[in-house]
Amino acid sequence: MARPGASRAGGPRYSEAMNVFSDRRARLAQALRAAGGGIAVIPTAPARQRNSDNDHPYRHDSSFHYLTGFDEPNAWLVLAPSGESTLLCREKDPAHEIWDGVRLGPAAAPAALGVSDACDVATLDSVMPELLAGHGAVWFPFGVHAALATQVDGWLATLRARSRRGVQAPANQRDLGPLLAEMRLRKGAEELALMRHAAGISAGAHARAMRFCGARFRAAPQGSVREYEIEAELLHEFRRHGAQSPAYPSIVAAGANACILHYAAGNTELRAGELCLIDAGCELDGYASDITRSFPADGRFTPAQRELYDIVLAAQDAAAAATRPGARQREAHHAAVRVLAQGMLDTGLLDSKSVGNVDAVIESAAYRQFYMHGTGHWLGRDVHDVGEYLSLGEAPTDQPDGLGNQVLMPPSRQLEPGMVVTLEPGIYVRPAPGVPERYWNIGIRIEDDAVVTETGCELISRGVPVAATEIERLMREGSR
């Protein structure tokens, strides 16, 4: 959307066209009608103070931005089932704009954003009762915005006080979250284009980090590289390609730190002979990417590292083969777990004399000693994106809960073209009695972003090598 003078210099480029947002609002209005009517209220995220007069970098609410393309704080969208839309946003204010940047202002909003109407957000508490009056239900995202339910209650109380004048207050409050999640789960062509772009930038950043390490250890084989130096390479690559920020805190884990699942890049020294695990992805124009690679600091896997690496890669291949339209989202996890469990038995990480064969390892979940997380999640505007994982319309059946128990729950939902998932198996070996020492402190995860296509899936993050020999070749080629 062309919106010269956007609120932040260098902010989003509005690569989605205005009619994309209008179309989404029309589809949400249709969903409201299909669900019995009612009016929807969607605030954006609040600005958050860091300290004193410093705020954290502002990040809009994903659903609000999905429906408006508007990235200023202190804004609300109200959508009637007729499709009429009202934006409440900050009024123009030349004095504040000198400090904080240009504001769009309500007068310019309809032309810029395609909304039917706009007004000053300072009038929120007087305008909202007017907009809600006469509707049978008010929809808003439950459990997302602190104090929103209290605000809605306040507007309803205002309306009820006018009931003797014939004003009707909505009698029902309904959760808008599932309607928005269903829409956001199926990505449109413009969203997939942005996600491919984001994944390509992130893949380039991972490749840059590998080349950087390769060059450093070639120049000084006995030296070391600090995790934060590698993180800086990632950030450099994200920003120089126009991504606004990382989509989540970058994990850069040297050696044993890779066995800490949510380790943040710190200052540990990475040394020759160790693996480096990077889980990092950029956010581009509101869309996340999420890639993990594990590579040898000095560009050469040790035999023990390579054995485990190839098992994890085979597990990811199995997960990708299970990711296709009509397959259940959970099938990728089951496929990966089977390969990982067999690999744990083959390498002696698990002793078949105590844990039995691969079926027994899966049934008891003994593999969780070395693989304790799921194999993927929805990806979109949020790195762990919205979307129901279960097929709630189907009858519950007994299923493994991944912890060694059978539980009664609906089946996992079926994949459809346009859904995007991550595929991220791993093996993490903490020193423990009975675990072969040659594998101690090796942590490996391989993660790619998969778009479900008509026939299978497309891995959109493979701009960085994944095969061990190709990683070694890239690191040898080295200079950046």
Distances (CA, A) of 178 to 130, 140, 235: 26, 10, 34
Look at the chain and count its residues.
480
Cα separation values, 466 from 249, 306, 310, 383, 430, Å: 22, 12, 10, 21, 24
Q: Does 449 bind ligand GLY (CB under 6 A)?
A: no
Cβ(231)–Cβ(252) under 8 Å?
Answer: yes
For the bound state, the minimum distance from the C-beta of residue 40 to Mn ion, rounded and expressed in Å, comes to 30
Q: Judged by CB under 5 A, does residue 279 bind Mn ion?
A: yes
Q: State which residue, 372 or 392, has the beta carbon closest to ligand GLY.
A: 372
| Smaller CB separation from ligand GLY, 248 or 287 | 248
Instruction: Answer for the pair 153, 118: CB distance below 8 angstroms, yes or no.
Output: no
Binding mask 418-437 for Mn ion (x = CB under 5 A): ----x---------------
Q: What is the DSSP letter of 117?
A: E
Residues 70, 62: contact at Cβ < 8 Å?
no
Which residues from 290-309 bind ligand GLY, rule CB under 6 A?
Answer: 290
Which one, 249 or 436, has the nearer CB to ligand GLY? 249
> From the list ligand GLY, Mn ion, none, which binds 248 (C-beta under 5 to 8 Å, kind-based)?
ligand GLY
Residue 269 bears catalytic tag? no
Q: Establish if 290 lies at the interface with Mn ion (CB under 5 A).
A: yes
In single-letter form, the type of residue at position 151 comes to: Q
Catalytic residue among 373, 430, 462, 480: 373
Minimum distance, C-beta of residue 418 to ligand GLY, in the bound complex (Å): 21
Contact predicate 351/308, CB 8 Å = no
β-partners of residue 226 are 269
334 in catalytic set: no
| Rounded Cα gap, residues 157 and 154, in angstroms | 5
Tell me if residue 377 is catalytic. yes
Q: Which of 233, 274, 298, 424 is catalytic?
A: 424
172-175 and 137-140: which strand pairing? parallel
Of the pair 279, 307, the CB lying nearest ligand GLY is at 279
Q: Which position among 72, 237, 279, 283 is part of the footprint of ligand GLY (CB under 6 A)?
A: 279
Q: Residues touching ligand GLY: how many (CB under 6 A)?
A: 7
Respond yes or no: is residue 96 known to be catalytic. no
State the first-to-last Cα distance of the chain, in angstroms, to the nearest integer.
35
Is position 439 annotated as part of the catalytic site? no
**Binding footprint of ligand GLY on the chain (CB under 6 A):** 248, 279, 290, 377, 383, 424, 447
Residues annotated as catalytic are 53, 262, 279, 290, 373, 377, 384, 424, 428, 445, 447
